[in-house]
Structure formats: structure tokens, C-alpha cells
Amino acid sequence: MSSRYLAVDLGAESGRVILGTLDNGRLSLEELHRFPNQPVRLPTGFYWDTLRLWHEIQHGLAVAGRDRKTSVSGIGVDTWGVDIAILGADGALIDNPRHYRDSRNAGVPEKLFETVPKADVFAHSGIQFMQINSLYQWYAMKLAGSPALASAKTLFFMPDLFNYFLTGEKRAEVTIASTSQFYDPARRDWARGMLSRLSLDPNILAPLIAAGDRLGSILSHVADATGLAPGTPVYVTTGHDTAAAVAAVPAEPGDDWCYISSGTWSLMGVEREAPVINEASLAMNYTNEVGVAGRIRLLKNIAGLWVLQECRREWARQGREFSYEELAEMASKAAPFQALLNPDAFLDPGHMPERIAAYCERTGQAKLTDEGSICRAVLEGLALRYRQVLVDLEGLTGRAIRTIHIVGGGSKNALLNQFVADATGRRVLAGPAEATAAGNVLTQALGAGEVSGLHEMRAIVRASFEVTGFQPRPGLGWEEAYRRFTAF
């Protein structure tokens, strides 16, 4: 007998509602509704279009319920990390959630460290330092004297907000909470003492709930709007999209592999039983996030395909439209290693080709003059950055990594996958592209008792999706390129 689950998967560029069918140890996924996730710039800041996203979610659920008359065993929501939402005493959303690239965050970490030193923040959270983190967003609101914060009754993360819209229940799912930099992965609780030192009220944080737990049932007006059966369960799946993707890495049991969840961001790391919070991980700026079954994801955030996406947007704005397939073909024909780009130098949006040109000039490298050369340099830079992180991970864990699993949308970029194998000298296994949706569905099935644990989840993924292997090719100049890359 098959069972069906709906996965709501919201990424930084688009959202989807996906129907997952679990049947005899195999999982199939069908996209029911896809919609853009377009932030909005207003005089007061850079925001997510939150109510539009909620409208689109309901539309996707209605495709299953009203249009197809599908009976589903559960609904689960995952989103990007770190961004927060504020509810008032009446349960209403009182401040539209800001985009993590909002300029309000600029300079906030340094101000916060004046009260709680950087080393103390890391000791309490084990999270890498990025000004987009939830901690700095919250502190920025305090510094600005935010009226919404003054009236706040509940602080949510984005999947928790949509779970609340679905059920009326106020809970904070652990995998998304662990991205915040105010969750303590060693104590498995909010870092209340640190928050109190910062005059941030921990009492507005919702009670924690583990991935896979049943949250409640859809509200009656949601059932009416979507045609889904009253009482349809909602599970707190892996609320952080990366946690969902890592849960669906098709790895065999063992510890000689790492993962790259490849999309707008690249999240590269390993799984551990316990967090790695020490002087070395602090110095390397690594992060300890929680995954399914309490596993710790020791990882590094890398700018990922964001740089290429921004170039593509800028070229389109100038009237030159390219598909990602066309860009990859142009990159494959360009000369190698014309310039070496560190993707993490390009976190801000806008005018990306011009910013790449300025970077090349500043670092004394050749000017990139055409789209193919820029795209190749972006992909080569990503592969070299992955090698750098691989070296760090092996040093932090004391274990050799022999296989790199690449999952997510970026796993479809064969040129990048080959570059990763060549740059690192490791076997690369690419796929599934829909790892986030698969992890979302299988975590719901775990909560429903249909799946026994993480090993079975990954066995189902291996049985259900194809992966493509890439072997490293000797020579080709990658060693010299890496030496130059690490010298910047």
C-alpha cells in the first residue's frame, strides 16, 4: 500500500509543492506547483513577500486536494535558513520578515561582540559567523528600537511561521533553530544565558520540537481553501532545507564521505554524533547544525551558484538571455584558469559581472571579457573552494574523505561536478537533484512510523534515484591553480 505526503519546499529563488509517494521501499516525487520567490525592496528595507508565498503554498495544496482529490498522510514545510518573523500578542504577523541580505545587518556582529565576545558566542552556539545569522537580525532590531520587537510575543523562523499558518500551533523546529546562532547544540536548548546578556528576551522563543514530530492538523479554513481532508496531519519535517537535503544523501553506512548541498548556497560538511566546538573550528569559522535524529552537520557555508545566478540576472537585464545549460556549454569552451575567484567574496547582490571585473583588477588577474570566461571562472572557483573546505574537514575530524556526494539543484551541473572531482582528487557522486523534497517527505514518513530511521531513509533514496559518478582526471593544472587560489 502506498502513502502520499506533500512537501512544501521554499528556496531563495523559488518554491514548490511536491507530492511524494512512498510505495514498497521506493519514493517518487511529482511537482504539483512551482512559483517564484521574489523579495521586495521598500524604502524601509529588503523583505520577503511572505503573504504571497502563503497564497502560493495554499494553491499548491489545492492542486492535491481540490483538483486531484488526493488523500495525503502528511504535510511538511522546509525553507531557507536564518530569517525570522515576529508575532504580536494576538497572534498576528506584525513585521514582514526581512531578507537575510538586508543592509540593516551590516556591522551588527561587531556591535554585538562588544557585549558578548566572539569566542563566547561560538562557545554557546557552535555556528559560523555571518552577518546574515538570525542572532544579528534580532540584535539589529533591538539596536534600531524596532516597534515590532517591543510588541513581540513570539519569534519564529520561516518554516515555523508557515506551520503556524497551517495549524495555529507555535513551535520551533530544531534543525532550523540550530542555524540561528542562539541555539546551543551541546545542551540542545536555546542559549538563554547569552541572550539575556544581550538584553534579548528568550521568552519570546517558541518551545522546541524535533524533526519528524507531528505538530497538529490543518485548520478548518485551510481545509476549506485547499480541499484537503479536515484533520490532515502536519509534521515538523526538517525545517531547514539543507537538513532535509542531507537527510536524503544516498550514502552507504560509513564515515568516509562528505556532502555538498548545491544550490544558491553550497553547504559542505560531514555528519557527526556531537558538535565540534573548539579553538580550531572557531578559527576556521565552521558551523554545527542539527540534522535528523539529532545528528550534527559540521559544515561550511559557501556562496554557491549565487554568483552565477546574479551574473545571469544582470545579463538578462541587459537583454542577453541565457539558460543555465547554455552558460555551462559556453564555460566548457572557455580557456581554463584565466582568473581565480573566491565565491565568498561576492555575497552582495547586484552588478555581479562588474564586481568580478573589479575583483580581478584588485587581485592582479586577467580581465574576463566574455560570458563563457566568467562562467568558467565562477565554476572553477567553486571547485577550488570545495577543495579548501575538504582539507579543513579532514583536519577537524581526523578522518579521510574518499567520496563527495553532491545533492540539490547544482548536482545537475555536470561541468561543475567534474571540476569538483578534478580539483579535489576525490570520487564525486551527483544526485538526487530533489534531495530536499525527498528528505522532507521521508522525515514525515519517519514521524508517521513508516520509516525506521536515517539509515532506512537513505536506503530508500538509493533505491529510488539515479546518481552519476565523476572520477578525477590527472593533470589539467588544478594543483597549480589551487596553490594560486590559496595564496589570495
Name the nearest CA neighbour of 471 among 390, 379, 402. Answer: 402
Query: d(Cα 201, Cα 161) in Å, to the nearest integer?
Result: 19
Rounded to whole angstroms, the Cα distance separating 55 from 92 reads: 16
For residue 335, give the nearest of 481, 482, 483 by alpha carbon. Answer: 481
CA 329 to chain centre: 27
Task: Give just the sign of the alpha carbon dihedral 130, 133, 137, 143.
Answer: negative
Q: What is the distance between the alpha carbons of residues 220 and 203, in angstroms, rounded to a whole number?
A: 29
Cell 552582495: give the residue.
348
* Terminal Cα-to-Cα distance of the chain (whole angstroms): 57
Tell me whether residue 241 is one of the annotated catalytic residues. Answer: yes
Task: State the burial class of residue 272 (Cβ atoms within 10 Å of its Cβ: 0-12, 13-18, 19+).
Answer: middle
Q: In angstroms, rounded to a whole number, what is the distance separating the alpha carbons of residues 21 and 17?
A: 13
Gap between the Cα atoms of 9 and 240, Å rounded:
10
- Is residue 67 helix, strand or coil? helix
What is the grid cell recorded at 474? 590527472
Catalytic pick among 83, 241, 392, 422 = 241
| In the block, residue with C-alpha cell 532550523 | 176
Three-state secondary-structure class, residue 6: strand
Contact residues for 355 (Cβ-Cβ < 8 A; gap 6+): 346, 348
Contact 7, 17 (CB under 8 A): yes
Question: Residue 421, Cβ neighbours under 10 Å: how many?
Answer: 23
* Rg of the Cα atoms in the chain: 22
Fill in the DSSP letter of residue 98.
B
Q: How far apart (Å, rounded) are the C-alpha atoms in residues 482 and 488?
A: 10
* Sequence-ordered list of residues with C-beta below 8 angstroms from that of 102, at least 6 positions apart, any chain: 45, 46, 47, 137
Residues belonging to the active site: 241
